[in-house]
Structure 1
């Protein structure tokens, strides 16, 4: 872990797939997932149904979410790829280090 700080992380490539509503059950509960949309497509949307939120999801868009907590989906017309970067909770469980707390913006609570 001293040599590679991303030893618990996963990078997945999702190519030309409409992604139906789901939660990322394998990702860590408390940490953000990072999704990067790439390729040549139009009319892309990411939807977070539990929040009632639908946003444009064009090439170059980065979405950061709590994928295990928030139900989400993506759709587009054309040649789309998504690079998903996230942590696997089971890797932490297997190796036994203390887990960090919930992801937050760094502001201190009073």
Structure 2
């Protein structure tokens, strides 16, 4: 596994493919709070709506949409009508802990003169 991680080009260490599932409001407790989950949705469907309830945000989430948020912190859910596939990329610290690699941290901004 250590050899594979040297060539791993993504910061994400997990992926999920979800087909035709209405997604009730939830959080992802195994994802890192510091990392953003990236959700990409495709298919033949309409009326796609993503709710980020604790931010009071509702997004049109039709085919081709990409959303990034901290799934650990932000309660999110999706409703739609039709056929849909979602690719979700995220980070689980359990793999970092197992391999002894550094965990991610929050992005920071440094002003350089």
Asked if Structure 1 and Structure 2 have the same fold, meaning a TM-score greater than 0.5 normalized by the shorter chain, the answer is yes
**Structure 1 residue 75 displacement after superposition:** 0.7
What is the rounded CA distance, in whole Å, between the counterparts of 1:51 and 1:8 in structure 2?
24
Segments of 5+ residues of structure 2 without an aligned counterpart are none
Distance 1:5 1:28, change over 3 A: same
Residue 7 of structure 2 is matched in structure 1 by: 3
Q: Which residue of 1 aligns with 2:73?
A: 69
Match of 2:16 in 1: 12
- Structure 1 or 2, whichever has the larger Rg, is 2
Separation in 2, partners of 1:71, 1:8: 20
**TM superposition outliers: structure 1 runs of 4+ over 4 Å:** none
Alignment correspondent of 1:40: 44
SS in 1 for 2:96: helix
Shift of 1:21: 0.5
- Cα distance in 1 between the residues matched to 2:32 and 2:96: 9
Q: Give the number of equivalent residue pairs.
A: 108
Q: 2:105 aligns with which of 88, 101, 106?
A: 101
For 1:66 and 1:82, the matched residues in 2 are separated by: 17
Cα RMSD (Å): 1.9
State the SS of the aligned residue for 1:90: helix
Q: List runs of 5+ in structure 1 lacking aligned partners.
A: none
